[in-house]
Amino acid sequence: MSALLSKHPKQTGVALITVMLIVALCAVIATQMTARLQVQMQRSANIIFNQQAYWYAMGAEAFTKRVLITVFKEDEDITHLGQAWAQGKMTYPVDFGEISGEIFDLQSCLNLNALRAVLTNTGGGNLPNNTNKVPARLALEALLINLQLDGVSSFEAESMADSLTDWLDENSRISGLGGAEDDDYASREFSYLAANNFLASVNELRIIEHFTPKIIEAIKPYVCVIPASDQHKININTLSSEHAELLQALLDSTLDQAQDILDARPEKGFASLNDFYNLPEVVKLSNFNDKKVQFVVDSEYFTLKASANFNNSFFAMKSVMKVTNNKYIDVISRTVGRN
């Protein structure tokens, strides 16, 4: 036997090395399989956690609908900041996480889509171009001036209103000196065309002529977007007292006059528009009759900003809701993301 081994000593060494290589290869394969299994398990867990966070957020939406229905059963003809929906951001603990949500009235801000409306005279025809400015457009121009932003004069404010109007309207005609249509956007390095349709988000202002990030951030607290609606109705009961500049723009008044009106507002808001009209601070305003049509004391559009955490998974969304005539709540849009 020893003679046989002595004849093939090299073969014994090769066999040992081969066995070691096979063992090492099996170890590498096993390690990779284990790593892949762990990744797949973590991926599956993440999907499950994200789905749970999503359904938590949807639960917040369902809860919001119930809150709004309850509120409007109690107060059918009035919406004010003393109601349950207006309590600010609420956070509720749940198993392995939490749900947060805040409801906003979309009629306490200037609807940018209202600039898409067409102003007509009593005869049904369009007014001359120099007077063809809907109330929402006049309010936007005034708001930009009232905020006293660096580099924003009356000309720049009008130019921004021109470009936004052109972005929204159905035609391809430039509405004014500061307007911008397809040719202006197509000539850019990364070309695109004007939407000629409603805005879906305030963030769309980033790609509209004349609007800078600084200006957009400054006006965000005062403006909003109601999807596919050119309605321009501001609820005087839900307009924040911190946003007197918007009321100043709507009334073409001074900032002090606007602030006095908001400070004089009853705790539960004005019970009717006549109560608002007869407020001494309002009666003193000049040309107020021309501006009455902009105001209401009840709201039909709301937005919910909801977020949910579940096992370190985060989900955020924004839902826009409309109160129907029979006090049912329709969800007309959902946007996923923090903004």
Q: Band of the pLDDT at 123, cuts 50, 70, 90?
A: very low
pLDDT for residue 129 is more than 70: no
Are the beta carbons of 133 and 117 closer than 8 angstroms?
no
- What pLDDT, in 10s, does the model give residues 312-329? 899 999 999 999 887 789
Token readout for 31 is 């390690």
Count of helix runs (H) and strand runs (E) in the chain: 10, 9
Count of beta carbons in the 10 Å neighbourhood of residue 144: 25
Mapped onto helix, strand or coil, the DSSP state of residue 135 is: helix
pTM of the model: 0.85
Domains and CATH numbers, the chain: 44-106+301-336 (3.30.1300.30), 113-222 (1.10.40.60)
Helices (H), 75-134: none
Cα dist. 283→4, 247, 257 in Å? 120, 15, 11
Q: What is the pLDDT of residue 36?
A: 86
Cα dist. 125→69, 129, 162, 172 in Å? 41, 12, 21, 19
Residue in 117, 64, 103, 306 with CA at minimum distance from that of residue 228: 117
- What pLDDT, in 10s, does the model give residues 173-231? 998 889 999 999 999 999 999 999 999 999 999 999 999 999 999 999 999 999 999 99
Beta bridge mates, 232: none
